[in-house]
Amino acid sequence: MIVGDLKPLEEIVSAIKDYKQVLVLGCGSCVTVCLSGGEKEAEQLSRELSQIRHYQGPPPKFVVGSILRQCERDLVHDYQEISPGTDAVLSLACGAGVQTLADELEPLPVIPALNTTFLGASDKAGSWTEKCKGCGNCILIHTGGICPVARCAKSLFNGPCGGSKGGYCEVGQGTPCAWTQIVARLKKMDRLHCYEELQSFKDWRPGGASGVRKRVRAGLGEGSGSNSNKNR
């Protein structure tokens, strides 16, 4: 899932303080699961931002709402709960959701309340770890299902560097060495030969190095184009 963290409160206050009415809009997908951007978090943020102590003048009026997935244009297009007088939207979605809202709601300002941090998985309740960089050319078949792009501090492809010691990375903070984990996994799988095969230089173009990435699935969404909500 996409993991996001709430921006510092003072940064959010600085971004919204000049507006009179702000829609605090949660997202019901990834950021709800990671407890940073769902409707509950939108309610909590709205209550905190309503405190007059954050402002030199009167605070904005806050209205709370939620969209199942802010990154899905049709769902944003169909959202009809923007109250009259709303002059800004504070989005608790990932960067993709914020940009989709901004496209659909133009010229209404859309302000991000979260920092999008990584693609991760849940280790246990309340804990998520980065697992994927979205590099566009998955090599997990060669590395025992452990991604060196995301989990090695240097994104190395052909084994650990000289800074690995005792199974931990030299960057410190108790960071496990991804390649120590990969070798141990490959041994258990009886696939250590994968480690001995040199990998060629990585082509980063599928990972976005050649521009904005886009995928179109044939036969989906034909005739369902959405019109912009520019006049709402």
Element of type H or E holding 27: strand 21-27
At residue 210, does pLDDT exceed 90? no
Within 13 A of 24's CA, how many CA atoms are on the CB side? 25
- The pLDDT assigned to 221 comes to 62
Burial tier of 174 (Cβ tally within 10 Å: 0-12, 13-18, 19+): exposed
Q: What angle do CA 213, 133, 119 make, to 5 degrees?
A: 100
Can you spell out the DSSP letters for 48-97?
HHT-GGG-SSPPPEEEEEEES-TT-HHHHHH-----TT--EEEEES-HHH
pLDDT band for 194, please (50, 70, 90 cuts): confident
Cite the DSSP H helix spans in the chain.
9-16, 30-33, 39-49, 73-78, 95-105, 148-151, 178-188, 193-196
The closest alpha carbon to 48, from 101, 94, 113, 3, belongs to 113
Write down how long the chain is: 232
Report the alpha-carbon distance of residue 43 to residue 49 in Å, rounded.
10
Report the alpha-carbon distance of residue 8 to residue 155 in Å, rounded.
29
Question: Each residue of 158-191: pLDDT tens digit?
Answer: 888 988 888 999 988 789 999 999 999 999 999 9
Question: Each residue of 110-156: pLDDT tens digit?
Answer: 999 999 999 999 888 889 999 998 888 888 988 999 999 999 999 88
Check if the beta carbon of residue 60 is closer than 8 Å to that of residue 20.
yes
The answer regarding whether domain 2-118 maps to CATH 3.40.50.2300 reads yes
Check if the beta carbon of residue 47 is closer than 8 Å to that of residue 68.
no
Question: Each residue of 17-65: pLDDT tens digit?
Answer: 999 999 999 999 999 999 999 999 999 999 999 999 999 999 999 999 9
pLDDT band for 223, please (50, 70, 90 cuts): low
- The pLDDT assigned to 226 comes to 45
pLDDT band for 218, please (50, 70, 90 cuts): confident
- The pLDDT assigned to 232 comes to 46
> What residue ranges do the domains of the chain occupy?
2-118, 134-207
At residue 215, does pLDDT exceed 50? yes
pLDDT band for 7, please (50, 70, 90 cuts): very high
The DSSP output letter for 174 is: T
Instruction: Report the predicted TM-score, pTM, of the whole model to 2 decimal places.
Output: 0.80
